[in-house]
Amino acid sequence: MSSRKSDSRERMVLSAAALLREYGASATSVDHVLAHSGAPRGSVYHHFPGGRAQLIDEAVALAGDFITGLIDAAMQADDPVEAVDAFFALWRDRLVESGFRAGCPIVAVAVETNDDAPQLARSAAAVFARWQEALAALLVRHGLAEERSLRLGAFIIAAVEGAVIMCRAERSTAPIEAAAAEIHNLLIYALRDRPGTGSGPRPKA
Amino acid sequence: MSSRKSDSRERMVLSAAALLREYGASATSVDHVLAHSGAPRGSVYHHFPGGRAQLIDEAVALAGDFITGLIDAAMQADDPVEAVDAFFALWRDRLVESGFRAGCPIVAVAVETNDDAPQLARSAAAVFARWQEALAALLVRHGLAEERSLRLGAFIIAAVEGAVIMCRAERSTAPIEAAAAEIHNLLIYALRDRPGTGSGPRPKA
DNA sequence: GTCTATACGAAGATAGAC
DNA sequence: GTCTATCTTCGTATAGAC
């Protein structure tokens, strides 16, 4: 090639995503990303002419795609209830492994974004929509109506995200385990009531 | 009295809470609070020797108490399902009235807080715990076991908070309405299954 | 693509007068 | 309780050399 491509750019986006997870959007400054990635300061605006906003935006897209992959993998389970259980377990493990420091990078951007960066809110919303569709597709495959499936998809994401915030604040897995157990119950009820099906497994205590 | 007490202090805490709701924790700077409240700059550290952290902390407590009052009022409904429906309606109305600008001030602090202000995470967690207890008390009064009631309390808060974040990002009430409908269903199932009770109302579509 | 240096503004916090 | 002035640090962004 005419010029050797460095990996600074990629490393910066990865670092930004990692910092978003653990420290939030405001704390994900250009300086911190440079320190975390080891990328050279001189090339920041060469790689990201849109400045910090572009960097954060790309980190949201990258983290969103990564988690979408995890969801898609979890949704391969035969039993839809098990699949959603696995989705919750994923987040619980992230919390525990990080000592309750790792939250959701998309939530961080969605919460801290204000009117002067409307693109970031749109990017976050797009990620949520993609996750919702992945969850809804699973439920549709198992016989639920599309409208109900989309509703449950949004609901599951809301429950996970809210629970992750609570777990970080109180440094405990209790909220996400409560959410997982209750979503588990609800899905069993929902799948049991679907047309043309005998009674399925009993809900948990 | 020996010295006339001004209301600058109270106004500053109120302004801080309002700014937390709409713009998040990082954007709730001392300057913005002063501009919003009209309080005099010279007396900030007279009223808040702990500086900005103390101001935010008091705003969390104030906003937390305010919302606790709203929850307690909603919980007075005879039917627990109606009570929780009212709780969701409360948040939905706040979103709509504010043009999807108002989120939850407690979540803002919980998400944006990092290791160098651990007290803020604790304050946020304390508010969540208080809300959880208020919701659980309602369910216990209507016959659910204490453990299940606390679990449902945490779950409902997680669902509300997650849904509010999604609603703000996509500027739509769909996520919180999905959460409200599914929690409604789940509560009907939970109350129907409680010991010594005939079948109650049917779940929504 | 990367370097150093720097401009510019915002934010938290303090000092000392009134 | 309130004022003005100031210090320091941090963060974004740009300039111009290499």
pLDDT digits (tens, 9 = 90+) for A93-138: 999 999 999 999 999 999 998 888 899 999 999 999 999 999 999 9
Please, what's the b/e burial string for A159-169 (b: 16 or more CB within 10 A of its CB; e: otherwise)?
Answer: bbbbbbbbbbb
Q: Which positions on strand D lie below 7 Å from a protein C-beta?
A: 1-5, 10-17
Tell if the CB–CB gap between A169 and B108 is shorter than 8 Å.
Answer: no
How far from the centroid of its chain's Cα atoms is residue A202's Cα? 29
| Buried residues in B124-154 as b, exposed as e (16+ CB within 10 A) | bbebbbebbbbbbebbbebebeeebbbbbbb
Q: Which residues of chain B have pLDDT under 70?
A: 1-5, 196-200, 205
- Are B112 and A110 inside 8 Å of each other by CB? no
Measured CA to CA, the distance from residue A89 to residue A102 in angstroms comes to 14
Residue B46 approaches strand D within 7 Å at CB: yes
Check residue A173 and give its pLDDT. 98
Residue B166 in contact with residue B137, Cβ under 8 Å? no
Match 């453990």 to its residue by tokens.
B147
| CA A169 vs CA A57, B29, B104, B115, B174: distances in Å | 26, 22, 14, 11, 27
* Interchain pair A186, B185: CB under 8 A: yes
Contacts with B99 (C-beta within 8 Å, 6 or more apart), sequence order: none
- Which stretches in chain A have pLDDT values below 50? 1-3
Point out the residue among B26, B125, B155 whose CB comes nearest to the CB of A159. B155
List the one residue out of B1, B29, B121 whose CA is nearest residue A114.
B29
Q: Return mean pLDDT, chain B.
A: 94
pLDDT of residue A6: 75
Asked if A123 and A57 count as a contact pair (C-beta separation under 8 A), the reply is yes
Element (H, E) at A111: helix A105-112
Distance from CA of B189 to the nearest CA of A (A): 8
Per the CB < 8 A criterion, the answer to whether B161 and B176 are in contact is: no
Q: Which pLDDT does position A143 carry in this prediction? A: 96
C1’ D8 / CA B169, Å: 36
Q: Do A185 and B181 touch (CB under 8 A)?
A: no
Using one digit for the tens of pLDDT, what is the confidence trace for B91-145? 999 999 999 999 999 999 999 988 888 999 999 999 999 999 999 999 999 999 9
Which helix (H) or strand (E) segment holds residue B18: the answer is: helix B8-23
Residue A1: per-residue pLDDT: 40
CA distance B41 to B35: 9
Which residues sit close to strand C, CB under 7 Å?
A 3, 5-6, 8-9, 39-43, 46-47; B 27, 29-32, 42, 44-45, 51-53
Domains of chain A: 3-191 (1.10.357.10)
Please report the pLDDT score of residue B197 as a whole number.
63
Q: Exposure string (b/e) for A31-49, b if CB count within 10 Å is 16 or more?
A: eebbebbebeeeebeebbe
The residue among B88, B182, B186 with the most chain A CBs within 10 A of its CB, best to mutate, is B182
Task: Please return the burial class of A175, using the count of CB atoms within 10 Å of its CB with bins 0-12, 13-18 and 19+.
Answer: buried
